[in-house]
Structure 1
Amino acid sequence: MDLPLKGIIPPLVTPLTENGELDLHGLNNLIGHVMGGGVHGLFLLGTTGEGTSLSYKIRRQMVTETCNLVQNSIPLLVCITDTALEESLHLAEHAKQAGADVLVIAPPYYLPISQTEMQDYLELLLPKLPLPFLLYNMPSCTKLNLSIDTIKKARNMGALGIKDSSGDLDYLKTLLKEFENNKDFSIITGSELYLPETILNGGHGAVAGGANFFPKLFVDLYEASLARDMQRITLLRKKIVQIDNTIYNVGQNSSKYIKGIKSALAALGICGDFTAPPVARFDELDRGKIKAHMDEFFLDTSFSLTK
């Protein structure tokens, strides 16, 4: 695996059947679709992948089946975050045995913890990990925004980089500036609209949820950013804004982002849109809205150039 980690790394959704089992046919379609779009890696069991809502059985199966389908052709990242350290280690070991490349670690959720407690947790967890690891900053779900000091300590303990999903551009720029001399330490944004800023300021890529259904669009934007092609960046970013204003904004609940992505995939015939409880998929009316938005994208000739 080449370092630093870089490029477009979709946070893969977990295709499910109506009864909550892993949809193997849908998973095969999805992986073929995103890899056909030229993505540079896959991120399993993150927020978009509903990792914390899945049974441990489904989590392990998702890792195994994906590794079998990808066959080491691109890096596979597996989020092992859990409320219990022992369960994180169990999944870490399974990921290694299945053939994954990198583990992803966010602060344990539910109980609020301090920066010092997070640093102590890392000192306990990291020496026991069987694979390299990437930090994951997701304060909206974990109640902790990782400090620069915490990130530095993790880097000194072997962190390959950080995925920042804070949605805070100033924080992201601080990360980029702080670690600009650490050439093998990846700064990867989890906010799709910040992909150009990340690359233009020395960062490495994006974990972009929209790359589940329009992978080539995000690969094109990544390549335009590397080339510093501002005209093309402007054109492509408008497409990302369209996605943000449509697919991610159907429905009322904060879960609309995950529902929207799965519904878009269903509209493309790639996999179903069933979700893991407590989240329920969109009703028929909202599924129809997503289908209409996707149809509009395909009728827009300027948009179709990027698919």
Structure 2
Amino acid sequence: MTMTDRAAQPLFRGVITALVTPFKGGEVDYAALEKLVEFQIAGGVHGIVPVGTTGETSTLTMEEHRAVVKLCVEKVAGRIKVIAGAGSNNTAETLELAHHAKEVGADAVLVVAPYYNKPSQEGLYQHFKALNDNVQIPALLYNVPGRTVVDMSNETVARLAKLPNIVGIKDATGDLERISQMRLMIEGSFSYISGDDPTLLGYLAHGGHGVISVTSNVAPAQVVAMYEAVAQNAYETALQWQDKLITLHKVLFADSSPSPTKYAMSRLGLCTDEVRLPIVACSQAVRPLVDQALTLAGVPLAGQERVTA
């Protein structure tokens, strides 16, 4: 049995990069953003998520947010999927961002559970139902309790999965038991997407369809190679990739994200390591660890020969 045979065809699958937003001199570096999109496509990823958590959306203005989504859609030009971040702790703002994503041609939106407000499960349901009812665009739920301080229960996810525009979930809990439980509770096609790079291999083995990855910002071909190995039931090969990537997965969160990722990307000559407050640049203590992890994963630094995954 292949991954394709396990369930009804999901709308989204594969390696989808949680794209950083490059900055230069305090402004969004749109030229570098175009370069990042091309780097991702060349690496074989199946999609990108602009202006998500890794894209520092909470520090972007609404104008910058819209501009980044629009540029990504235009630059991708249908070659891969674009799932625009549209999360907010304000339901009206989420609807506004989702409307814009639809207008510019994004394939879907990724919407995080409202943070800080600490809504009840019913509040979560009504938030996402409002999105379903008001904007006709596919939406992925995003559950990341470590950042939102609220956890969407499996029951709430299953309830939302019955709505026509709620097509999947990005699960960043790292709890591999949850996907098995959700698969038993949800009927029909639904995209189960990991939001936790270190446990991706296990998530795919539990029936997952892919990952929204931070690591693929810097190692797209390598993360894709692991995903494809699982798709071909070549678990020994997948495990080899896991061993090469696990240190990089972890070190990219050794300082406040996305500062280690942006440092890594600067080492690859892709963009600056600039972040926006309250995030600060990657610490000096973490930087050599990132360099070592890149080497272990087979990712060459700028000026070195690229390793083919």
TM-score by length of 1: 0.89
User: Any idea what SS the aligned residue of 1:76 has?
Assistant: strand
Q: Does residue 185 in structure 1 map to residue 196 in structure 2?
A: no
Give the one of 16, 38, 51 matched to 1:9: 16
Letter in 2 for 1:259: S
Give the one of 237, 240, 256 matched to 2:245: 240
Structure 1: distance between partners of 2:36 and 2:60: 18
User: Any idea what SS the aligned residue of 1:157 has?
Assistant: coil
Quickly say closer, same or farther: Cα 1:231–1:288, change in 2 above 3 A.
Answer: closer
Which runs of 5 or more structure 2 residues have no equivalent in the other structure?
1-8, 301-305
Aligned-pair Cα RMSD in Å: 2.3
Cα offset for 1:45?
1.6
Which residue is equivalent to 2:303? none
Which residue is equivalent to 1:93? 99
| Matching of residues 273-284 of structure 1 within 5 Å | 273-283=273-283
Give the one of 179, 202, 206 matched to 1:201: 206
Quickly say closer, same or farther: Cα 1:223–1:210, change in 2 above 3 A.
Answer: same
Taking only the aligned residue pairs, the percentage that are identical comes to 28
| Matching of residues 199-278 of structure 1 within 5 Å | 199-249=204-254, 251=255, 255=256, 257-278=257-278
Contact 2:18 2:217 in 1 (8 A): yes
Q: Does residue 172 in structure 1 map to residue 175 in structure 2?
A: no
Contact 1:112 1:143 in 2 (8 A): yes
Contact 2:16 2:47 in 1 (8 A): yes
Give the one of 159, 167, 174 matched to 1:160: 167
User: Any idea what SS the aligned residue of 1:26 has?
Assistant: helix
Contact 1:267 1:290 in 2 (8 A): no
Which residue is equivalent to 1:71? 77
Quickly say closer, same or farther: Cα 1:203–1:66, change in 2 above 3 A.
Answer: same
User: Any idea what SS the aligned residue of 2:140 has?
Assistant: strand
- 4+ runs deviating over 6 angstroms: none
Contact 1:200 1:226 in 2 (8 A): no
Letter in 1 for 2:37: I
Which residue is equivalent to 1:18? 25
Quickly say closer, same or farther: Cα 1:59–1:52, change in 2 above 3 A.
Answer: same
Question: Deviation per CA, 1:45-100, whole angstroms, max 9, x where unpaired?
Answer: 21111112211111111101111110121111012111222221221121112111
Which structure shows the higher strand fraction? Answer: 2
Quickly say closer, same or farther: Cα 1:289–1:123, change in 2 above 3 A.
Answer: closer
The number of aligned residues is 296
Contact 1:103 1:132 in 2 (8 A): yes
Contact 1:137 1:162 in 2 (8 A): yes
Structure 1: distance between partners of 2:233 and 2:191: 19
Quickly say closer, same or farther: Cα 1:306–1:189, change in 2 above 3 A.
Answer: farther
Structure 1: distance between partners of 2:100 and 2:108: 12
TM-score by length of 2: 0.88
Q: Does residue 34 in structure 1 map to residue 40 in structure 2?
A: yes
Cα offset for 1:246?
3.8
Cα offset for 1:4?
2.5
Q: Does residue 137 in structure 1 map to residue 143 in structure 2?
A: yes
Letter in 1 for 2:172: S
Which runs of 5 or more structure 1 residues have no equivalent in the other structure?
none
Contact 2:158 2:185 in 1 (8 A): no
Quickly say closer, same or farther: Cα 1:297–1:188, change in 2 above 3 A.
Answer: closer
Q: Does residue 109 in structure 1 map to residue 115 in structure 2?
A: yes
Letter in 2 for 1:131: I
Cα offset for 1:12?
0.5
Structure 2: distance between partners of 1:285 and 1:194: 25
Quickly say closer, same or farther: Cα 1:245–1:197, change in 2 above 3 A.
Answer: closer
Which structure shows the higher helix fraction? Answer: 1
